[in-house]
Amino acid sequence: MWHSLAWDKTIPTLDRVLSIASRPGPCPKATCRGSRLRLLSAEAQRLALPGSTYGYDVRVRIGWLRQPQRATSSAGHADRASTLAIASSPVRYLSQHCSVPLLACHARQQRDRLAQAAREQGGVILALDGLAPQGGEPPLWVIRDLSTGLTRRSGWLAHQEQPTCEAFLAPLRHLEWPILVVRSATQTGVVPAVATVVPHRPHPFCQAPDLRHLAEPLAEVDAAFQVALRQTVRAQVGTWIGQEPQATPGHGSVLTVTDLLPSPGAEPPASASPSPTPPRAPVSCSSEANEVVPQLLRHTRYL
């Protein structure tokens, strides 16, 4: 072992903080090729990437939150800030420049699984989609295998025109399995890029954006209908609504009329010797209408 250190750093993990020092050494045999090399500790390198102070488990956790859970950088920072002293900028850096390459390495280990799925269905079915950017960053685009759910390719695209999309899709030309279907959204540069890189293949579009915006024309028609309805109602009974007297504070201000509990004073208190009911004075039709019409107009105006 040499007397100098290759590196000495503090590595935060999900459950603890480690202080690691790696001391290199050559092979003691003069005839060995390793006697002229600076051999580093494999055990220390399994804890963190070179030049990084965060453990692999922290990177995997942030990548899992970003990819399968679709969490933003702020949500990933909130998840780790409760147990780990980490700022928001390292979370964004770890997600973009470290977690995605680790996920790619993991996907490459699933080559046998991909080959088996391709043999069973006679080819591969791919889906191309991008995540919405946040904080002025470029969008992340991903090519996934729909049969296995594994990521075939991912990357940030500074532009979404046809040449950039073709460069991103170029490795699809060299797949050892035939491409059966490519599904994607309807971005301007994606559609001609897929037709150029993977010609003569079915290219259905993702229905999720269309279903998300399906209610927009219905909502516009409904809003126009509401405006026309208000104008028609106000043209007919607008004068009566405007002349409705304001209710005085008290029980008359309570508009709830259906309930399990009656309003106070709705019924006279019971007494031992009920007094004779005085004769009612004749009520005109106009006064009875005034008791009903304002209530109807109030409900009409509310609707």
Q: What's the mean pLDDT in 152-176?
A: 83
**Does 268 reside within a domain?**
no
Q: Is residue 265 assigned to a domain? A: no
Tell me which of 2-16, 93-107, 145-159 is least confident.
93-107
Q: What does the pLDDT read at residue 146?
A: 84
> SS3 breakdown of the chain: % helix, strand, coil, rounded to 5?
45, 15, 40
Given 190, 205, 232, the domain boundary residue is: 232
Is the dihedral angle over the CA atoms 216, 218, 219, 223 positive or is it negative?
positive
Same domain flag for 225 and 200: yes
pLDDT of amino acid 105: 73
Indicate if 227 and 114 belong to the same structural domain.
yes
Window from 1-15, 83-97, 230-244, 269-283 with minimum mean pLDDT: 269-283
Same-domain check for residues 75 and 145: no
Alpha helices (H) in 109-185, listed in sequence order: 111-121, 162-169
Q: How many domains does the chain have?
A: 2
Residue 289 falls inside a structural domain: no
Tokens representing residue 109 in the block: 């280990």
CATH no. for residue 207?
Answer: 3.30.420
Per-residue pLDDT at 81 = 63
pLDDT-wise least confident of 48-57, 107-116, 243-252: 243-252
With a cut of 60, say whether residue 253 has pLDDT above it: no
Q: Sign of torsion, CA 157 158 161 163?
A: negative
Q: Which of 300, 185, 279, 170 is nearest to 236 (CA)?
A: 300
Residue 225's pLDDT band, with cuts at 50, 70 and 90, is: very high
> Where in the sequence is the domain holding 49, given as residue range(s)?
1-109
Domain assignment of residue 53, yes or no: yes
User: Contact at 8 Å (CB) between 251 and 257?
Assistant: no
pLDDT classification of 145: cutoffs 50, 70, 90: confident
Domain boundary among 109, 140, 171: 109
Q: Does position 273 have pLDDT exceeding 60, yes or no?
A: no
Say which residue, 192 or 66, is predicted with more confidence. Answer: 192
Do both 133 and 51 map to the same domain?
no
50 and 73 co-located in one domain: yes
Question: Residues 116, 225: one domain?
Answer: yes
Answer whether residue 228 is part of any domain: yes
Domain boundary among 55, 87, 109: 109
In a domain, 127, yes or no: yes
Residues 175 and 216 in one domain: yes
Assign 21 a pLDDT band (cuts: 50, 70, 90): confident
Helix (H, G, I), strand (E, B) or coil at 188: coil
Are residues 42 and 57 located together in one domain of the fold?
yes
Is residue 22 located within the same domain as residue 124? no
Contact between 112 and 84 (Cβ < 8 Å): no
For 195-217, what is each residue's pLDDT tens digit? 888 888 888 887 777 777 788 88
**Residue 122 predicted with pLDDT over 80:** yes
**Closest among 125, 175, 122, 132 to 150, alpha carbons compared:** 125
Whether 157 and 170 map to the same domain: the answer is yes
The angle subtended at Cα 209 by Cα 203 and Cα 215, nearest 5°, is 135
Check pLDDT > 70 for residue 100.
no
Q: Looking at residue 244, what is its pLDDT?
A: 55
Name the burial class of residue 217, with classes exposed (0-12), middle (13-18) and buried (19+) by CB atoms within 10 angstroms of its CB: exposed
Pair (132, 101) in one structural domain: no
Task: Please check whether residues 139 and 98 belong to one and the same domain.
Answer: no
Q: Let me know if residue 128 belongs to a domain.
A: yes
Residue 271 lies in a domain: no
- Does 33 or 269 have the greater pLDDT score? 33
